[in-house]
Chain A
Amino acid sequence: MLEIIDLHAGIADREILKGISLTVRAGEVHAIMGPNGSGKSTLAQVLAGHPAYEVTGGSATYDGEDLLALPPEERAQKGIFLAFQYPVEIPGVTNAYFLRAAYNEIRKSKGLDEIDPMDFADLVEERLRLVDMDREMLQRAVNAGFSGGEKKRNEILQMAVLGPRLAILDETDSGLDIDALRVVAHGVNSLRRPDNATIVVTHYQRLLNYIVPDRVHVLAGGRIVKSGGKDLALELEARGYDWLVEAAPAGVAGAAV
């Protein structure tokens, strides 16, 4: 589904990603872990097409298509969803309106008609339960005045409604208490299907107790320094990141997946 080869990217002349290679297949959950500043969020943003980041080398192919050539809205319409680490507030625009606008844009890109508002209401109603959110949240402005936990939950609600093929969760666990974490994980797990994939970006192993990954990659200094199965996350929990960061030989480009 997603194939990243030797990806280099940065911001304002500073290279952050220094050769990332990663393959994600349909049905898989990948965890990207690593210390602060290792480039995890940058990777998520670059995949989603944030204009502040410049890709300076390498490639990313999504369903056989050059992902990096697509504007962000087309990536979204083709099923890439980024759950933001810091969801953005849009005052005055209700959640309900925003969700429907996004849902319809994606339908339009597929040549489908806009959804009937009543049908959409039913769909949202059902998805609300998945993330244990109250219906009145729909009438509030997008993320405006939401608590940190509410914002994260709202991201998962959007994900549940839009039904992406490839979901990228950027530090969705940060700032969540254990109950909220469970709710979010439950939402993500319920949405897992053989034809979609998830990339979970996280600093802590904690979330991976609930969302069990197929592969775990450790990012340090803009490179993947180690990849492994779900046990790698537990090992990181016990030993921290230092042993990997120190062991990584400088100048290695594109560590093995």
Chain B
Amino acid sequence: MSTAIETLVNRDYQYGFVTDVEADTLPRGLNEETVRAISAKKREPAFLLEWRLKAYRRWLTMKEPHWSNVTYPPIDYQSISYYSAPKSTKPLGSLDDVDPELLRTYEKLGISLTEQKRISGVAVDAIFDSVSVGTTMKAELGELGIIFCSFGEAVQEHPELVRKYLGSVVPYSDNFFAALNAAVFSDGSFCYIPKGVKCPMELSTYFRINSADTGQFERTLIIADEGASVSYLEGCTAPRRDTNQLHAAVVELVALDHASIKYSTVQNWYAGDANGKGGIYNFVTKRGKAAGVRSKISWTQVETGSAITWKYPSVILQGDYSTGEFYSVAVVNNHQQADTGTKMIHIGRDTKSTIISKGISAGHGNNSYRGQVKVLRKAEGARNYTQCDSMLIGNQCGAHTFPYIEVDNNSSVVEHEASTSKIGEDQIFYCKQRGLSAEHAISLIVSGFCKEVFQNLPMEFALEAQQLLGITLEGSVG
């Protein structure tokens, strides 16, 4: 009875199906005309087209970054289509107008957009390829003055807010992928919580890539005005395909005085097959600005999918006494690669940040934590606590830690703890000797390892994340 921790079996990815809808797709390739075409399709105001063009021109001067600990063949940006929308979707349509085929797709993904079956207490914006197909609970939210809609809709109906905050946290010049996104982003979610309002339900966006050869470039902007608070969830899946697809999203969060934003992600893009063929390149820029006094931004992410993940949800702690948090579980199996972590930039006084990162590597997976803690000269009394744990399953995977700590202030305290452990046969045998199956043992050990992160997820999400983790790692121990 050999239980050598080597055998790797790729478990079926249950979200790998394709929806057959007629799509309005731009031909492959990227030039200024592409940018103009996207902007025209979305009937955007001049300021936005100008911004896109500036971003595009900037992008042309930039080089794809290769400092991360991942490898992949060169991406041909001219072979990607930058816009694809189901033809049946009318812009600004109500949910009643949505193509039933699309509703069925989301049903299959476990997301119900129809009135009766909605998860209570959660409002959903569903993004299909390049466009939003619908947003639920809008009326209920509207009564509180909360704006929750697709980005495209926000551009039409609240251009002043878009203009004020777009690019204020992640400027178009920030990095190669952010510039690309700024040039060609198609849709995404927009959310504004007015002064003093605590959003009474979870807001969530569900991203679905459907068409082949299309990149997904969504942009999410969340603003919590003074004293406001919101909890936001994000989920993602894509069909199983042999080719790699690019997903380069940007998320910007702005929290004003005493406001708080909690942003949770369960990322389950198609990861490629057991041999590493296909899968999503998830190259994402997420950043929050804790702009106001005592504001708070908290990222929680569970990254289980994608062939490659390149993602560093960060917080700029600008307001005095502001707080930044980053809780992360990143899992790689088979040939997945993840280079993920965070940046905490302390600018205001008595700012406080916490980083809890849990990396799990199985199969031939390669997992890197990359984190920066920067305390500026004026950030008196700043504090950071970082805990960075890696777990290895099997002996062909890798775990790496790249912490960068920069402190320009004498009154600050920065703590960094790191550990690496291995799920050994001994741990599994111990559980088995108490009557547990190998699968049960691994899920127990792994959820114990990730406990501090799961505790920070909203409850329904925590369960989903835990199950997802079990599925991702299933078969990683023979």
Do A and B make up one complex?
Answer: yes
Give complex CA distance A91, B447 in Å.
9
Give complex CA distance A87, B437 in Å.
18
Give complex CA distance A50, B2 in Å.
10
| 1/0 contact string of A128-165 vs chain B (CB within 8 Å) | 00000000000001000000000000000010001000
Number of interface residues of A (CB under 8 A): 29
CB neighbours of B459 from chain A (8 A):
none
Would you call A48 an interface residue if the criterion is a C-beta within 8 Å of the partner chain's C-beta atoms?
yes
The one of B3, B445, B447, B451 that contacts A51, using a Cβ cutoff of 8 Å: B3
Would you call B449 an interface residue if the criterion is a C-beta within 8 Å of the partner chain's C-beta atoms?
yes
Number of interface residues of B (CB under 8 A): 27
- Closest CB-CB distance, A13 to chain B, in whole Å? 15
Stretch at the interface among A56-64, A69-77, A242-250: A69-77
Contact, CB under 8 Å: B447 / A93: yes
CB neighbours of B445 from chain A (8 A):
90, 93
Contact, CB under 8 Å: B448 / A102: no
CB neighbours of B430 from chain A (8 A):
84, 87-88, 90
Interface of B is mostly: helix
Give complex CA distance A92, B443 in Å.
12
Give complex CA distance A128, B425 in Å.
29
Would you call A256 an interface residue if the criterion is a C-beta within 8 Å of the partner chain's C-beta atoms?
no
- Closest CB-CB distance, B439 to chain A, in whole Å? 10
Contact, CB under 8 Å: B434 / A98: yes
Contact, CB under 8 Å: A51 / B440: no
Give complex CA distance A75, B1 in Å.
13
Contact, CB under 8 Å: B433 / A93: no
Contact, CB under 8 Å: B435 / A90: no
Contact, CB under 8 Å: A162 / B433: no
Q: In the A-B complex, list the 10 residue pairs whose CB atoms are closest, starting with the nearest.
A: A92-B448, A93-B448, A102-B434, A105-B435, A88-B430, A92-B451, A76-B435, A72-B432, A51-B3, A73-B432
B contact residues vs A (CB 8 Å cutoff): 1-4, 421, 425-427, 429-438, 440, 444-445, 447-452
A contact residues vs B (CB 8 Å cutoff): 48-52, 71-73, 75-77, 81-82, 84, 87-88, 90-93, 98, 101-102, 105-106, 109, 141, 158, 162
Known: A71-B1, A93-B447, A158-B434. 11 other contacts (CB 8 A): A51-B2, A72-B429, A73-B433, A90-B430, A90-B431, A91-B448, A92-B450, A93-B448, A102-B431, A141-B448, A162-B435
